[in-house]
Chain A
Amino acid sequence: MTEEIIIAGFGGQGVLSMGKIMAYSGVMQDMEVSWMPSYGPEMRGGTANVIVIISSERISSPIIKHFDTAIILNQQSLDKFESSIKPGGVLIYDGNGITRHPERKDINVYRVDAAEEASRMNSPKTFNTIVLGGFLKVKPIIKLENVIKGLKKSLPERYHNLIPMNEKALIRGEEIIKEVQKAL
């Protein structure tokens, strides 16, 4: 099993930390993982992205151009990465601020309106965890208990009081993700 994922959005949306939680969760499940962030000028305002690979085998290249799953959190990232999804692959996006929706017909498209849900839950910071919950519903490659363990590992101890709220957000993400399109 190898899952090659790109997560992309605005800096500050929690793109890198969502990837980090995924990677830690993979470690907790005894998988091989790699986490390769964009650290360039993008990070200093603008778009941020991270490539996460979770695999049962040793990972060769941590930098790749085609993905099994793209998790897209803004319009710029959708424009940039829609074409990088493997045929039959998965696109998960948040509809907030999206004016041009996905156009490819050969991929599975899901929508998780996490920004809206996070503000409804009155916890905007759980935005990325809601998205992660949606991803895990579509690709249940990591068990929830290992994600919680991963959260514990990736959050500094002073934030461990936020874990129950994040657990709720994960479950909410699983509930609200909607299938928009099955691949042709």
Chain B
Amino acid sequence: MEKELRLMKGNEAVAEAAIRAGVDGYFGYPITPQTEIIEYLMEANPAETTGMVVLQAESEIAAINMVYGGAACGKKVMTSSSSPGISLKQEGITYIAGAELPCLIVNVVRGGPGLGTIQPAQSDYFQATKGGGHGDYHLIVLAPASVQEMADFVDLSFELAFKYRNPVMMLSDGAIGQMMEKVYLSPQKERSKTIPEWATTGKPSTRERNIITSLDLDPNRQELFNRKLLAKYDEIREKEVRFEEFQCEDAEYILVAYGTSARVCQKSVQLAREQGIKAGLLRPITLFPFPTKRINELAGKVKGMLSVEMSAGQMVEDVLLSVNGKVPVYHFGRMGGIVTTPEEVVESLKSKLIGD
């Protein structure tokens, strides 16, 4: 079937894509700048069409624990929020990671710390990629840079979540959530009737009971479990790295940026090249796993890299580790809900890496 063309906000695209991907349940709590997700779902009322449950919980904490319950039953379930709300969900998220359950968490990031601002930011990179909750765990983190990707990554997230029995986070931001672009929507998928073998949906006489838990009081068994998780993360690092390159072939300087910053940097590359500076852009699509290997390869061919983020400098640490001292690496970014302009990036590239 042909894809349907619409003009939508990023938030609306997530919601519509969730219905079409055959998601079983959405549990959320409103917060700017992502409230359109739950608004759209409530208005669409998919309970009457696909049977998808849409529920406004009493709090973010309730919502993530509903996701925990739904995921334990083998269902395709998701939640969404923005930075302060995602902080509230962290306990549930680490439990879900510890219980090895698939789900989707969408974070439409706003500026922090604390309640911060409702304007776009990328200051939740550490929280998304380095844990967020307690314990040794990783989410798979996807970073959409367009309304189209907001839609496409819903399906991809569930594919990865079920493949690895691991929670997936879509790390978006207020700009992509609020802006409208063209989006081609996939046809409606039916909700899956297959129940994964590990799901807790009642014990038949043919097998042992399934247990979903993140608790094991025996240190030896817990360490074995930790090692199993590490092996899974290694497999994800090996197989699931995704990135996009823009004019990197002959580049002397590489900008590394994701999400909204990557869109800004695409324009910066054009502006820099108009001034005779051979710039290129590497856009990580997965933030965990990070495109470490590719950045290390590129570091062998260029004079320097600039990590551009709407934060005080978070992803730059992963760029530094990837480059491993081969060339200078700097960070440039605006904070407080201010979106970097393409011109500022070029100025920063010149002052930090090129000199006059």
Interface, chain A (partner B; CB < 8 A): 20, 23-24, 27, 32-37, 39-41, 59-65, 153
Question: A24 to B7, Cβ gap below 8 A?
Answer: yes
Question: A37 to B178, Cβ gap below 8 A?
Answer: yes
Question: B175 to A36, Cβ gap below 8 A?
Answer: yes
Cα A37 to Cα B118 in complex, Å, equals: 13
- For B260, give its contact among A27, A32, A59, A63 (CB under 8 Å): A63
Cα A59 to Cα B182 in complex, Å, equals: 11
A residues within 8 A CB of B179?
A: 34-37, 62
Q: Is the interface of A mostly helix, strand, loop or mixed?
A: mixed
A residues within 8 A CB of B118?
A: 39-41
Cα A153 to Cα B8 in complex, Å, equals: 12
- For A64, give its contact among B119, B178, B180, B342 (CB under 8 Å): B342
Question: B178 to A27, Cβ gap below 8 A?
Answer: no
Cα A23 to Cα B6 in complex, Å, equals: 11
Contact of A34 with B341 at beta-carbon distance under 8 Å, contacts A27-B5, A61-B263, A61-B266 already known? no
Please name 23 pairs of A and B residues whose Cβ atoms are closer than 8 Å in the assembled complex, sorted by A.
Answer: A24-B7, A27-B5, A33-B180, A33-B181, A33-B182, A36-B179, A39-B33, A40-B119, A40-B337, A41-B118, A60-B266, A60-B270, A61-B263, A61-B341, A61-B342, A62-B175, A62-B260, A63-B260, A63-B264, A63-B339, A63-B341, A64-B267, A64-B341
Interface, chain B (partner A; CB < 8 A): 5, 7, 32-33, 117-119, 174-175, 178-182, 260, 263-264, 266-267, 270, 337, 339, 341-343
Question: B337 to A63, Cβ gap below 8 A?
Answer: no
Contact of A60 with B182 at beta-carbon distance under 8 Å, contacts A33-B7, A36-B175, A40-B118 already known? no
- For B174, give its contact among A23, A39, A41 (CB under 8 Å): A39
Interface-centre pick from B7, B117, B178, B263 (highest chain A CB count, 10 A) = B7
CB of A138, distance to nearest CB on chain B (Å): 24
Question: B7 to A27, Cβ gap below 8 A?
Answer: yes
Question: B180 to A35, Cβ gap below 8 A?
Answer: yes
CB of B267, distance to nearest CB on chain A (Å): 4
B residues within 8 A CB of A65?
A: 341, 343
B residues within 8 A CB of A153?
A: 7
A residues within 8 A CB of B182?
A: 27, 32-33
Question: A62 to B7, Cβ gap below 8 A?
Answer: no
Q: A-B pairs with the 7 shortest C-beta distances?
A: A60-B266, A35-B180, A60-B267, A61-B267, A36-B179, A61-B264, A63-B339
